[in-house]
Amino acid sequence: MANRIVLNTVSYHGKGAIGNIVPELTARGFQKAFVCSDPDLIRFNVTKKVTDLLDAAGFAYEVYSDIKPNPTIENVQTGVAAFRKSGADCIVAIGGGSSMDTAKAIGVIIENPEFADVRSLEGVAPTKKHAVFTIAVPTTAGTAAEVTINYVITDVEKKRKFVCVDTNDIPEVAVIDPDMMESMPKGLTAATGMDALTHAIEGYTTKAAWEMTDMFHLKAIELIARHLRGAVENTAEGREGMALAQYVAGMGFSNVGLGIVHSMAHGLGALYDTPHGVANAIILPVVMEYNAPYTGEKYREIARAMGVEGVDAMTQEEYRKAACDAVRKLGQDVGIPADLKAIVKDEDVQFLAESAFADACRPGNPRDTSVEEIAALYRSMM
């Protein structure tokens, strides 16, 4: 079977990269942008860094910001109506995964109105047309939504998140500018950075992994281990390193899938509104230990990429433990909680486990699992 790689048509990287947004839009003949960004980014003038460029060029735009941290079906529906009313012909998504996921769903529905029921996009929906032309500008170094064919929407009514996988949703242009990330607070930097690490490790160990995606994932792990601590302290080198690292991880996992760390984290976000990166970071080392017997020699390379010395002299048991310990230590160093005691209620564990088992990321896990085993994993962190 052939392996498939889907990436942006164009991506820009480095300080000042946002200067390419207006030229990309005007060169393609677009007239008005629908700017998707969340309320906090507007409040703290992060979105303004891009809209100032649009203003200076006299490029028309309308801002849409009815977006929650875990975007909902309603956010998408309201956004679709706002796009139609605006007369826009392109999208500029500015923010973390919430803004970009919302923009993806809006763009897909506009071009594929038969999927107006947002729930119909769950899984691999047979859309026929590519989403509205989109430029994605991340403000966090974690989700890599600007380069993935995935997006996640929360179904508030059913208290669950659902994953949508569609090659038609990938933004045509990604603009990864560390200057857009410099105002991220420490906690958000840590959480989104650990989200990126989760993408890299789950992508590297997933059942569909292959040589090209392994290359992306190992490099991402190396960059994150080297730069996340600095990014949390807001050093320029740390910010730039993490901006690249999260994108490289996205290049990989988008094309091969993830595992049960994400499946379990999605439930926490839907039920408790837990920040996605925090949930992933707490769960990651525990699931790594659970998956270890089914990962061959891959944990040796994870340990090496994490900066562990002497891995070639270690036994399999030793390098597997070293990889898990290095991930746990990084989480501790950047302030991630040690467990789920303050988050998960015992009476919710069965529902969470069932939701995780039904999640689209679960089949990619290197170890086949069950509802009962996932429930036990949750309880081991309580």
Q: How far is CA 260 from CA 69, 156, 188, 321, in A?
A: 21, 21, 22, 19
Residue 90's φ and ψ, nearest 5 degrees, are: -155, 170
Q: Kindly report the pTM of this predicted structure.
A: 0.95
Please say if the pLDDT value at position 130 is more than 90.
Answer: yes
Average confidence (pLDDT) over 68-96: 96
Strand blocks (E) in the chain: 10-13, 32-37, 60-64, 90-95, 134-138, 150-155, 160-165, 173-176
User: Is the distance from CB of 95 to CB of 138 less than 8 angstroms?
Assistant: yes
Please say if the pLDDT value at position 183 is more than 90.
Answer: no
Average confidence (pLDDT) over 89-114: 97
User: According to the model, what pLDDT value does residue 185 have?
Assistant: 92
The tokens describing 125, both together, are 């929906």
pLDDT tier for residue 3 given thresholds of 50, 70 and 90: very high
Residues 149-160: pLDDT tens digits?
999 999 999 989
Average confidence (pLDDT) over 87-113: 97
- Residue that has been written with the tokens 């047979």 in this structure: 126
Average confidence (pLDDT) over 258-271: 96
187 exposed, middle or buried (CB, 10 Å; 0-12, 13-18, 19+)? middle
User: According to the model, what pLDDT value does residue 8 have?
Assistant: 97
The tokens describing 23, both together, are 């030229």
* Pairing state between β 150-155 and 60-64: unpaired
270 exposed, middle or buried (CB, 10 Å; 0-12, 13-18, 19+)? buried
Residues 131 and 64: their CA atoms lie apart, in Å, by 17
The CATH code for residues 186-381 is: 1.20.1090.10
Handedness of CA 21, 193, 281, 147 (dihedral sign): positive
Please say if the pLDDT value at position 1 is more than 90.
Answer: no
Q: Which residue has the higher pLDDT, 59 or 97?
A: 59
The tokens describing 158, both together, are 């059913």
Under DSSP, the state recorded for 107 is H
Helix (H, G, I), strand (E, B) or coil at 176: strand
User: Is the distance from CB of 163 to CB of 360 less than 8 angstroms?
Assistant: yes
Please say if the pLDDT value at position 249 is more than 80.
Answer: yes
Q: How far is CA 321 from CA 200, 317, 368, in A?
A: 18, 6, 21
Q: What is the C-alpha R_g of the chain?
A: 20
User: According to the model, what pLDDT value does residue 212 have?
Assistant: 97
User: According to the model, what pLDDT value does residue 156 have?
Assistant: 92
Mean of all residue pLDDT scores within the chain: 96
Nearest to 250 by CA among 145, 166, 102: 145
| Domain residue ranges of the chain, discontinuous segments joined by + | 10-180, 186-381
The β-bridge partners of 13 are 176
Fold of 10-180: Rossmann fold (3.40.50)
Nearest to 339 by CA among 275, 267, 284: 284
The tokens describing 268, both together, are 């926490």
Please say if the pLDDT value at position 319 is more than 90.
Answer: yes
